[in-house]
Copies of this chain bind each other. A is one copy, B any other.
Amino acid sequence: MSERLARVTLMRLAEPGDEVMGRLVASRGPQAAVGQVRRGRPDPEFARWFTRSRHPGPAGSRQERLAARLERMFASWAARLETADPARDLAEGERHGARLVIPGDPEWPTQLGDLGESGPHALWLHGEADLRFSCLRSVAVVGSRAATPYGTHVAADFGAGLSERGWSVVSGGAYGIDGAVHRGALAGETPTVAVLACGTDIAYPSAHHSLFAAVRSQGVLVSECPMGATPIRPRFLVRNRLIAALSRGTVVIEAAVRSGALNTAGHAISLNRHLAAVPGPVTSQTSAGCHRLIRQGTAVCVTTPEEMIELVGAMGGDLAPEARGPVLPRDRLDPDTRRVLEAVPARTGAGPATIAVAAGVDLETVLSCLGGLAAAGHIERVPRGWRLRPERPPGR
């Protein structure tokens, strides 16, 4: 069984975000993990880790109960394994026009590694945009489904403002803020990323059918669920960690004090991403969650897309804000990256294959170098591929 088929199988076995399965896969590899589920029991060392990590100390009845719990987990995974058919899943996904990416693939967003053992086993993607490149300069924009006209106006404004400045939006696919920010982003030319809590073949909510079609043509739909998976409530909550992890920072536009958007905000904080919130009228309960984040000092108060870009652009020492110019001067790039950069055209864009030929390096190297060059502000994505980014004076 290939790693790809094993990971498609794993998508069927455990619910997304299951850290026990995550640990099994991380420590034993995806094929061996499926093999253990097929045998219906974990290897003894894994069982010992599971019980000891939850109840250190001498063996006792507490550890016996834990061992029994792990056995029940394996039994439920094994039951699902009986109906799993990874080859059919792969064919089904491709028939819908989606593609599967797994860790190590050029399109895999490596920042998902920050999720550790709760990270996804694989992702189904459906859309024209390259997920990894789209997320290099991306901002998660989240908020209430029951948004006010003020909230949807601001969300659309943020979507358009981010997209016009070359920053991708990452959001869900719900009514309210999610939908408004994607619509705004579609007004620009930058890909927009919708992370779903159901299979990419399920357009949920169905009234967003045409919105999802537009996202597919200019951006990409993302899901860690297999085809046909329906959106159930816990999947929305675990989905939120992907939104936070894919982007450099999250901004909350309208959230009541018990909004699911605050769950995404919590993931952003625990992932060490930037968190911002947009204020609103203090008379609006729909802004109360945003104000609480700002008051607590958990979120930075941002009022415009530019301020959000300033926040995430300044993040980390290795990535420069757009307006400050590249962090790494050309002469400090490694030889391969410099050759790739020299092969990127200045005005009209070129695709990775063209650049690979011009640079005299293989396609895989080009794909891995382009991301870093874009992140450092040397090149930018245009409809026909990549081109040099015009130099700008330092400062704003």
When C-beta atoms are compared, the residue in chain B nearest to A294 turns out to be B301
A206 at interface, CB cutoff 8 A: no
CB-CB < 8 A to A288: which residues of B?
303
B-chain residues with CB within 8 Å of residue A300 when the two chains form the complex: 295
Please measure, in the bound complex, the distance between the C-alpha atom of A182 and the C-alpha atom of B2, giving whole angstroms. 74
Residue A373 is within 8 A (CB to CB) of chain B in the complex: no
A154 at the interface (CB under 8 A from B): yes
Interface mask (A297-318 → B, CB under 8 Å = 1, otherwise 0)? 0001111100100000000000
CB pair A301–B291 under 8 Å, yes or no, is yes
Inter-chain CA distance A242–B154, complex, in Å, is: 38
The reply on A345 being an interface residue by CB < 8 A is no
Cβ–Cβ contact B280 & A282, under 8 A: yes
Instruction: State whether the Cβ of A278 lies closer than 8 Å to any Cβ in chain B.
Output: yes
Contact residues of A: prevailing secondary structure:
mixed
CB neighbours (8 Å) of A150 from chain B are 281, 283
Q: Which B residues touch A154, using CB under 8 A?
A: 282-283
- The residue among A280, A282, A300 with the most chain B CB atoms within 10 A of its own CB is A282
Closest to A279 in B: B279
User: Contact string, A322-361, partner B, CB cutoff 8 A, digits 1/0?
Assistant: 0000000000000000000000000000000000000000
At the interface, yes or no: A52 with Cβ under 8 Å from chain B? no
A290 closest partner in B (C-beta): B279
Interface string of A230-265 (1 = CB under 8 A from B): 000000000000000000000000000000000000
- Please tell me if A153 contacts chain B, counting CB pairs below 8 Å: yes
Asked if A282 contacts B295 (CB within 8 A), the reply is: no
Q: How many copies does the complex hold?
A: 2
Contact B279 A282 (CB under 8 A): yes
Residue of B nearest to A278 (CB): B282
A302 neighbours in B (Cβ, 8 Å): 295
Report chain B residues within 8 Å CB of A307. 295
- A295 cross-chain contacts in B, Cβ below 8 A: 300-303, 307
Report A307 CB to chain B, min CB distance, Å. 7
A259-288 Cβ-contact flags toward B at 8 Å (1 or 0): 000000000000000000011111100011
Q: Which residue of B lies closest to A276 (CB)?
A: B295
Most buried by B among A281, A291, A300, A301: A301
Contact B282 A304 (CB under 8 A): yes
The complex places the Cα of A279 from the Cα of B304 at a distance, in Å, of 14
Nearest neighbor of A153 in chain B, beta-carbon distance: B283
A287, closest chain B residue (CB): B279
| Distance, CA A150 to CA B287, complexed state (A) | 15
- CB proximity of A101 to chain B, nearest CB, Å: 36
CB of A189 to closest CB in B, whole Å: 24
Residues 142-154 of A, flagged 1 when their CB comes within 8 A of B and 0 if not, give 0000000010011
B303 with A282: CB separation less than 8 A: yes
Q: Which of A168-212 contact B (CB under 8 A)?
A: none
Do B301 and A301 touch (CB < 8 A)? yes
A281 contacts B282, C-beta separation under 8 Å: no
* A343 nearest CB across to chain B (Å): 42
Closest B residue to A303 by beta carbon equals B282
Top 4 A-B residue pairs of the complex, sorted by shortest distance between their CB atoms: A279-B279, A282-B303, A294-B301, A295-B301
Q: What 10 additional pairs, Cβ within 8 angstroms, besides A154-B282, A295-B301?
A: A279-B279, A279-B282, A279-B291, A280-B280, A282-B303, A291-B301, A291-B303, A295-B300, A295-B307, A301-B301
